[in-house]
Structure 1
Amino acid sequence: MKVKQFSLAAISAVTLACSASFYSAPANAWGKTGHRITGKIAQAYLSVEATAAIAELLGPESLAEASTYADEMRSNPSEFWQKTANPFHYVTLSEPHHYHEHDKPAQGDAMSALQDFTATLQNPDASKEEKQLALRFIVHIIGDLHQPLHVGSAALNDRGGNDVKVTFFGEPSNLHRVWDSGLVDHQQLSYTEFSHWLQRRITPDQAQRWATPDPYTWIHESSQLRDDVYPQTDEPYLAWDYVYNYTPVMKQRLQQGGVRIAAYLNHVFASNSN
């Protein structure tokens, strides 16, 4: 399969009609705090080559800062941000737990965008600005794919839990929002505090086992977790029991997301140097 590369010219010129998907409205996996946690953790596991390449592209901008760029630009009025980039935050599976080529819609998804932005990052003819966009999106997409409800099910057809209305500690919400930000923000920690707590608990053995740059693995894991996080009542009131049961899952996915961001970028920039 020939992988296309995103260029600034293409971003301004491309017109893609976004067909129906399980998101008709923007969804920000993990929210800003969660994404920054994955970026902060990733920084600790970068290779020397990746660290140098990222510094050359982003200067003083950390991966924690870069991780939220794809959400912060959603209000940009350009066609790329208003139409083209919308599907790049999730995938929808036709089978329960495996991503296949036929799952990729015409407008693309997180998997196709990851491939495309990686090609841009490895393209010696791409401009620095194009590579900066690609790097920021890669960091964001890997975080997205570790949030279980950003790996949607075509059979459920509920927009990744956005259509599942819940009450979270007395406030109206939906299941997707609980996983994007509710569980994370309930900890009442800054991203630096939370990432420090999570990173120091990652053992060397875990870091080694988790360090796979294979997005099919991440998607498979999230899809299996996704099936377990749905409440079993029609009008669920989520509070302490739900937090108790799923905070360990949320924490591990943030840890794994951080390790995998580093593993993926280490692989990309090692390939570039060969």
Structure 2
Amino acid sequence: MRTIGISLAIALCFGAVTSTAQAWGPIGHRVTGAIADENLGGVARANVKILLGTEDLAEAATWPDDMKSDPANFWQKTASPWHYVTVREGDDYKGSDAHAEGDAMTALTRFTATLRDPKASPDDKRLAFRFIVHIIGDLHQPLHAGGGNDRGGNDVKVTWFGRSTNLHSVWDSVMIEQRSLSYSELAGWLSRSITPAQVIAWNDRDPSVWLHESIALRKTIYPTDPNLSWDYAYQHRAELDDRLKHAGIRIAAYLNWVFEPTNAIAAKAK
């Protein structure tokens, strides 16, 4: 699996990857996990420690993509569509657009129920937890809220500084990796730019809100010229960074809610 991961990273660096399901490459997902880690509340942090031990959110965030190398039917077929959603008409998610195996929205709902189920096994909860962290990141990548007509930008062929790739890969990894920063360096840069007011404003655990944001951005990122270089990077880098920052804050907000003590929830409902 290590060899596969290294090969994938090299392919991403040269803009050759055409995967339909990987939202944010390893660096992007780890950035969202690292930002989330800094914003977890005490109860959520304790529960994460119980579930994962020494594994942090940055590591957990890439696990569902790492497992795509597993030849089991679960990973090759069942779980494959849980990384994205399709919104064929308008801007509102409709369950009828989901794949037969479900999608990121249905998977998020199901895994949340598992994580809050006191009867669920530790293994099932770990699977659910890792997917939740990953899926929230996926839902903030604009091309993972696709319109169902170009496989989330995978069919949009472009060049990146002269190398052939596609629009999906540009947003997953190529623009991120162009900066030659480790995930911890990029997470640190982005975290330091997030203000307390933004943490409060972005503290939204409603996935429909995240989707509306991603769909609105997706409509603006298709280039008129397929030959992409500095102009495209300059135009969209701040938007890409913004989605990574939002995802990190939302992962933390969602986990803080999932792990909120029952008595605290009841008290707030009164």
Given the two structures, how large is their TM-score scaled by the length of structure 2?
0.89
The structure whose residues are more often helix, as a share, is 2
Counterparts in 2 of 1:126-205, with a 5 A limit? Answer: 126-154=120-148, 157-205=149-197
Q: 1: distance between equivalents of 2:41 and 2:182?
A: 26
Task: Evaluate the alpha carbon distance shift between residue 265 and residue 272 of structure 1 in structure 2; reply closer, same or farther with a 3 A threshold.
Answer: farther
1:58-79: CA deviations, max 9, x gaps?
A: 0010000000000000011111
2:33 aligned with 1:43, yes or no?
no
Alpha-carbon shift at residue 232 of structure 1 (Å): 1.3
Over 3 Å off, 4+ runs: 271-274
Q: 2: distance between equivalents of 1:61 and 1:272?
A: 26
Q: Are the aligned partners of 1:26 and 1:86 in contact in 2 as well (CA < 8 Å)?
A: no
SS of 1:94's equivalent in the other structure is: coil
Alpha-carbon shift at residue 107 of structure 1 (Å): 1.5
Alpha-carbon shift at residue 30 of structure 1 (Å): 1.0
Q: 1: distance between equivalents of 2:73 and 2:204?
A: 34
SS of 2:65's equivalent in the other structure is: helix
2:228 aligned with 1:232, yes or no?
no
Structure 2 residue ranges without an equivalent (≥5): 1-17, 266-270
Match 1:114 to one of 99, 108, 113 = 108
SS of 2:30's equivalent in the other structure is: helix
Q: Are the aligned partners of 1:96 and 1:223 in contact in 2 as well (CA < 8 Å)?
A: no
Alpha-carbon shift at residue 173 of structure 1 (Å): 0.2
Match 1:29 to one of 18, 23, 32 = 23
Q: Are the aligned partners of 1:165 and 1:172 in contact in 2 as well (CA < 8 Å)?
A: yes
Q: Which residue of 2 aligns with 1:260?
A: 250
SS of 1:74's equivalent in the other structure is: helix
Alpha-carbon shift at residue 51 of structure 1 (Å): 0.3
Q: Are the aligned partners of 2:20 and 2:151 in contact in 1 as well (CA < 8 Å)?
A: no
* RMSD (Å) for aligned C-alpha atoms: 1.3
2:65 aligned with 1:67, yes or no?
no
Given the two structures, how large is their TM-score scaled by the length of structure 1?
0.88
Name the amino acid aligned to 2:40. L
SS of 1:270's equivalent in the other structure is: coil
Task: Evaluate the alpha carbon distance shift between residue 114 and residue 134 of structure 1 in structure 2; reply closer, same or farther with a 3 A threshold.
Answer: same
Q: Are the aligned partners of 2:21 and 2:80 in contact in 1 as well (CA < 8 Å)?
A: no
Identity %: 55
Q: Are the aligned partners of 2:20 and 2:154 in contact in 1 as well (CA < 8 Å)?
A: no
SS of 1:200's equivalent in the other structure is: helix
2:239 aligned with 1:245, yes or no?
no
1:91-112: CA deviations, max 9, x gaps?
A: 0002232112323332100000
Q: Which residue of 1 aligns with 2:5?
A: none
1:179-227: CA deviations, max 9, x gaps?
A: 0001110111000000000001000001100010000000000000000
Name the amino acid aligned to 1:192. S
Q: 2: distance between equivalents of 1:166 and 1:93?
A: 23
How many residue pairs match? The answer is 247
Q: Are the aligned partners of 1:198 and 1:251 in contact in 2 as well (CA < 8 Å)?
A: yes
Name the amino acid aligned to 2:60. A
Q: Are the aligned partners of 1:118 and 1:138 in contact in 2 as well (CA < 8 Å)?
A: yes
Structure 1 residue ranges without an equivalent (≥5): 1-23
Q: Which residue of 2 aligns with 1:85?
A: 79
SS of 2:164's equivalent in the other structure is: strand
Name the amino acid aligned to 1:106. A
1:235-260: CA deviations, max 9, x gaps?
A: x1000000000000000000000000
Q: Are the aligned partners of 2:21 and 2:81 in contact in 1 as well (CA < 8 Å)?
A: no
